[in-house]
Structures are given as structure tokens and as C-alpha cells.
């Protein structure tokens, strides 16, 4: 039987409304795609900078920064995480 890879999704941001919106939309996109996933919110500024992100919010998929500084559409998020 094939093992299903769990997607590691991280939302980088200080907790602003855009960060919350990105987290909600990423969660929704992952559910709509029926992905096995873990979502983590990173709010520590030093950890965020460690990813090279200077303009949150940011979406990190399996340790790869996919988008920074904006909240992409649901369809864009689906493409980034699938």
C-alpha cells in the first residue's frame, strides 16, 4: 500500500488579519484537495526572517517559501500546495 505524504504547511506572520486570512484559506484549500497535512503558524520574527521573509504573511510548503507579502486566491493556494 502506498504511503501518503503529509504536507507540511506553515503560515509565517505576526498574527495580523492577512496572516489569519492566509491560514484560513490554506486550511480550506488543503481540505478541498483532500490532502493529508499539518498546518503550523510561525509568529516568531527571528524564525520568519530565518526563512528569508521580510514581508509577511508568507506560505511555506514542505520548507519551500511559496508566497510572501500577500494573500493569494484559493485557486493559487491549491496549486502551491498540491
CATH for 7-81 is 3.40.30.10
Q: Rounded to the nearest 5°, which phi and psi values hold at 22?
A: -65, -40
**Please, what's the b/e burial string for 62-74 (b: 16 or more CB within 10 A of its CB; e: otherwise)?**
eeeebbbeebbee
Sign of the C-alpha dihedral, residues 52, 36, 80, 2?
A: positive
**Residue that wins the pLDDT comparison between 78 and 5:** 78
Q: Is 16 a catalytic residue?
A: yes
Q: Is 55 a catalytic residue?
A: no
Of 11, 12, 19, 81, which residue is the catalytic one? Answer: 19
* 70 — pLDDT class (breaks 50, 70, 90): very high
**Residue ranges in 1-82 assigned as alpha helix (H):** 17-32, 45-50, 74-81
Of 16, 33, 49, 55, which residue is the catalytic one? Answer: 16
Instruction: Please indicate, yes or no, whether the overall pTM of this predicted structure exceeds 0.85.
Output: yes
pLDDT in tens, 13-31: 999 999 999 999 999 999 9
Amino acid at each position: 500500500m502506498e504511503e501518503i505524504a503529509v504536507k507540511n504547511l506553515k503560515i509565517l506572520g505576526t498574527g495580523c488579519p492577512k496572516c489569519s486570512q492566509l491560514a484560513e484559506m490554506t486550511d480550506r484549500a488543503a481540505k478541498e484537495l483532500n490532502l493529508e497535512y499539518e498546518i503550523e503558524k510561525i509568529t516568531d520574527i527571528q524564525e520568519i526572517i530565518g526563512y528569508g521573509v521580510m514581508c509577511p504573511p508568507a506560505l511555506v510548503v514542505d520548507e519551500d517559501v511559496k508566497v510572501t507579502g500577500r494573500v493569494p486566491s484559493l485557486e493559487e493556494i491549491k496549486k502551491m500546495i498540491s
